[in-house]
Every structure is written in structure tokens, then in C-alpha cells.
Amino acid sequence: MIHRAIVTAAAFVIAAPLGAHPHVFVDVALRFQDDGAGNLTGVEVTWTYDDFFSLLIFADMGLDPDGEGALTDAELARLKGFDLEEWPDGFEGDLYLTAGGDKIALEHPVPTDIRIEAGRIVASHRRSFGPVPADGLRVEPYDPTYFVKYTLAGPVVLPEGCAYAITEPDLDESQRAFRDMLAELSAEEQYSGVEVGNLFSDIMAISCRAPS
């Protein structure tokens, strides 16, 4: 997410001592598309941003000047896709899919929807991939820098015959792993953007029954 509000906030965090705590909170919903033959071909990702970050975006873009938490159609049109602009080289969209230990390449996102709910920005985009067998797919939404905390709040929509299980991180163990990692770094390395987000990630495993 390369909007000016994120860049400004990130610069502040980098200037401070590294800590294992996020600054933006996002609920994640996923709707998978399939080819009817047991393979997944894409996913619509919905990010619901926390209310404070949503206010930062409104202010940064000059939206909702009356502070009512509701946008006009014209303002929504301006907002749509705000979090998909200018993705830097190597940025993977904070969504990681693996099958049998192999990472699945996802295509660049296409914005699909934008709305405001209880003052929070709810933004959706679609990413194509595959086709990849649904059974055994592992899904992890996380920001490698842990500046953003993603939570698989759902809903999650899968093809008929498939189910999912979500494993939440053991935060005590994650913090211990973070401290151990930090102890091995120099002071300079601690300021250079250590990637620890995977330590705090929800993990979703997909399983599908064999066709009868």
C-alpha cells in the first residue's frame, strides 16, 4: 500500500526503534474463483481498514470534509483502487499462497469494489493465478514488515466440497521468535526493515473432498 499516508507513517516508524507491533489493522475476506475441475484460478480480496487509518486516508485525499463518515459517489470513485497504486518492485500484495511448499505467483490486482462501513474503508480487488489445485493450498495474509496487521476475519468463500481451517499465531511464541531474531542483528540492521510479519500471520489451510 503506497498511498502517501502510509509512506509518511512508515517513515516515522522506521525512524523509531524497531518493535514487533503493527500500526495499521486490516480485516481480510477472501472469495476464491475456480474452474469447476478442482482448481482455483483467482481470488477476490477484501480489506477492511481500521477506522483511524480510514480517517487518515479521508484527510489525505480531501474526502468526507463534513466528517460524517459517508462519501458521495464521486468521492468513492476517487477512492476506488487507492491502495493498489504504485506498488513497488517486489511487493507481493501482502497475500501469500503456497502449494506443496511452492509459492504461487499472483497477477497484479484489479480493483472491484469500494464502500464505507461504520466509517471504515472496505476495498476489494481481484488477483488471478493458476490454475492451482484447491486441496492443500496454504494462504497467509501478512505484511513482511509487520507495519500492517492482517486478520482473516472472513467471510471466506470456496468452491463446493472445499473447507478451510485457520491457525492463529501464538503471540507469545511469535514475540519470543522476534526477540531471538533481533538479538542476532546489529543496531544498524534493526533499523533497516526486518521482515517478521510471517511470525504473526494467520495461516489458512484449504482441504477439498475428492469428487464422488
pLDDT tops 60 at residue 116: yes
Please determine, for residue 15, whether its predicted confidence score (pLDDT) is greater than 50. no
Q: Are strands 102-103 and 110-117 parallel, antiparallel or unpaired?
A: unpaired
Lowest average pLDDT, out of 27-31, 98-102, 179-183, goes to 179-183
Q: Is the pLDDT of residue 6 over 80?
A: no
Q: For 144-164, write each residue's pLDDT tens digit.
A: 988 999 999 999 999 999 999
Which pLDDT does position 132 carry in this prediction? 95
Closest CA to 85 of 61, 59, 103: 61
Q: What is the pLDDT of residue 69?
A: 76
pLDDT (tens digit per residue) in 26-46: 999 999 999 989 899 999 999
Per-residue model confidence (pLDDT) at position 86: 80
DSSP 16: S
**Distance between CA 83 and CA 28 in Å, rounded?**
14
Residue with cell string 501482502:
94
CB 35 within 8 A of CB 172: no
Mean pLDDT over 169-185 rounds to 76
C-alpha cell at 135: 486441496
Nearest to 111 by CA among 134, 77, 67: 77
Is 169 in contact with 119 (CB distance < 8 Å)? no
- Does residue 144 have a cis peptide bond before it, meaning omega lies within 30 degrees of 0? no
- Residues near 208 by beta carbon (within 8 Å), at least 6 away in sequence: 38, 134, 135, 158, 159, 161, 162, 163
Report the distance separating Cα 40 and Cα 121, nearest Å: 27
pLDDT tens string 70-94: 899 999 999 999 999 888 878 899 9
Read off φ and ψ for residue 76, nearest 5 degrees: -65, -40
Amino acid identity, position 123: A
